[in-house]
Amino acid sequence: MKLNEKSTLQDVAVAVSQALETAGIRAVLTGGGIATIHTRGDYKSEDLDFIIQSGPTQAQLDAALKNIGFERSGDHYEHATTRFFVEFPPGPLSIGRDIAIRPEQVKVGRSRVLALSPTDSCRDRLAAFYFWNDRQSLDVAVRIGLREKIDLDAIQRWSETEGMADRFREFERLLDRRRGRKVPSHQKRG
């Protein structure tokens, strides 16, 4: 796939994933990039974060991305014609204290990308809300919940484990309100 100024974030995600896979590099799309995909573009990110799960050298990573037109610039990769850039934050793949993350093959157009599931992407955004009080991330978590099927019970259990039951209830109330559901009176307190 040839990337250009008209390439979408989804196009870049597929191209990078395929280039990494071809080079034998296992990496999982996380962060705002997969949130953009799970919200179907309702949220827009300018970067794609991949967590590497294999052991490539820097030269192997550089070569894989150079094959699709990306050049390393400091700690990220830029492309001459697309506005999106690619980063590889340090692992392990985790959400809060949970390191038992199971990425899945997420459908992106006609292709598939190894990425966080909708539930894990929602938890990832909630982690930013829980630990850094990032209200935009709360909104993105809600947007994921509106567009995708998420496991609220799993998110609640994880939230409680992280000591964030109150913040989970705030998320759940906001999600219910945006879905147009009446919020039960026992949830209005907190």
The identity of residue 85, as a single letter, is F
Contacts of 102 (CB under 8 A, 6+ apart): 117, 120
Using CA atoms, how far apart are residues 101 and 180, in angstroms rounded to an integer? Answer: 31
Using CA atoms, how far apart are residues 183 and 64, in angstroms rounded to an integer? Answer: 49
What pairing do the DSSP bridges indicate for beta strands 47-52 and 27-30? antiparallel
Contacts of 84 (CB under 8 A, 6+ apart): 7, 9, 12, 46, 47, 48
Q: What radius of gyration do the chain's Cα atoms show?
A: 17
Are 160 and 184 members of one domain? yes
Are 26 and 103 members of one domain? yes
Instruction: Give pLDDT tens digits for 130-140.
Output: 999 999 999 99
pLDDT at 190 over 80: no
The identity of residue 138, as a single letter, is L
- Considering 115, 133, 165, which residue would you say is the last residue of a domain? 115
Using CA atoms, how far apart are residues 141 and 51, in angstroms rounded to an integer? Answer: 20
Are 133 and 178 members of one domain? yes
Question: pLDDT over 70 for what percent of the chain?
Answer: 94
Are 106 and 130 members of one domain? no
- Considering 73, 95, 115, which residue would you say is the last residue of a domain? 115
Using CA atoms, how far apart are residues 74 and 97, in angstroms rounded to an integer? Answer: 28
Query: In which domain, by residue range, is 54 found?
Result: 9-115
Are 80 and 36 members of one domain? yes
Does a structural domain hold residue 4? no
Are 141 and 124 members of one domain? yes
Using CA atoms, how far apart are residues 74 and 57, in angstroms rounded to an integer? Answer: 16
**21-30, 69-78, 79-88, 181-190, range with the lowest pLDDT:** 181-190
| pLDDT band at residue 33 using 50, 70 and 90 as cut-offs | very high
